Amino acid sequence: MFNATTDRISKMTLLFPDRVKELEAIFDRPSMVYIDYANIYHWTNKLKWTFDLKRIKQLLSGFDTIKGAKFYYGTSDKESSRKFIEEVKTLGYDVKTKPVKKMRLSIDVSGVSLNSSAVLENFIKRPLLKVLTLETIQYLNSKLKELNVSGTTYVEQLKCNFDVEIGRDMLLDYKNNGIDNFILWSGDSDFADPVTQLLNDGKKAVIFATSRRVSTELTETRALIFDIQKIRNFICNSHQIQDNIRALI
């Protein structure tokens, strides 16, 4: 059963009754939401709109079957990062965080032949490398050499995966907290195994994502995939609500 938590959501419910019914059918039993924010944050480039975490929480809070929303995101040493995490906590999410790791990836080609793809393998997937021409590989290595001459021999990559933590929390919620429905906001292939296990054990799992942002492995689990484009006007930043809808609310 859905009960709107704000006046705006109440008006949106009248405009999109079928969407609300679809969500009620999804959240038809004790549910837990798991948001892999580092994964979904990058979807905004394709969506052309951004997530409003406050509005997402307001929408989820309207369903009495949703027992909580867990939010996973890394913390850097910047004050803005710590402040963001604290703000998310105030919205009512169960926040799981850990320090972001900085990984150094070498771009030093000083001891590498211009014909070699050894360094490029750090950045280009093997299937693509296999179809690159020798001239292209030589060109890319020459550009890396220019960076080396200017003093740059490595680049830093930020990494903070939560696949282990999310998989563990799913298992704990399954065993100890009476959760029968697992709502995953992510398209990462790392979750294929826990989702498959949940489905095999008779549990329900739903992937909230958008087209072409769900890995083949997750798709093959046959879990229901809900396209978040359907609820854009419920969860986007307020100024990004579509004009024809804004005029009615």
Amino acid making up residue 100: V
Nearest 5°: the CA angle 225, 71, 78 is 130
* Joined tokens for residue 36: 């892999």
Could you tell me the residue ranges of all domains in the chain? 7-100+160-246, 101-159
The segments of the chain whose pLDDT lies below 70 read: none
Q: What is the pLDDT of residue 158?
A: 83
Helix (H, G, I), strand (E, B) or coil at 226: strand
The CATH number given to 7-100+160-246 is 3.40.50.1010
Q: Give pLDDT tens digits for 115-172.
A: 999 999 989 988 999 999 999 999 999 999 999 999 999 998 888 889 999 999 999 9
Q: Give the DSSP letter string of the chain.
A: -B--SSHHHHHHHHH-HHHHHHHHHHT-SSEEEEEEHHHHHTTHHHHSS-B-HHHHHHHHTTBTTEEEEEEE--B-SSHHHHHHHHHHHHTT-EEE--BPEEEEEE---TTS-TT--TTGGGTS-HHHHHHS-HHHHHHHHHHHHHHHHTT--EEEEEE---HHHHHHHHHHHHHHS---EEEEE---GGGHHHHHHHHHTT-EEEEEE-TT-S-HHHHTTT-EEEEGGGGHHHHB-GGGS-HHHHTT-
β pairing state of 101-106 and 154-159 = antiparallel
Q: What is the pLDDT of residue 33?
A: 99
Q: Give pLDDT tens digits for 82-94.
A: 999 999 999 999 9
The pTM of this model reads: 0.86
Asked whether 54 and 238 are in contact (CB, 8 A), the reply is: no
Nearest 5°: the CA angle 37, 67, 175 is 90
Terminal CA-CA length for the chain: 22
Q: What is the pLDDT of residue 152?
A: 97
* Joined tokens for residue 240: 């990004």
The string over 60-73, giving b where at least 16 C-beta atoms fall within 10 Å of a residue's C-beta and e elsewhere, is bbbbeebeebbbbb
Q: What are 32's strand-pairing partners?
A: 182
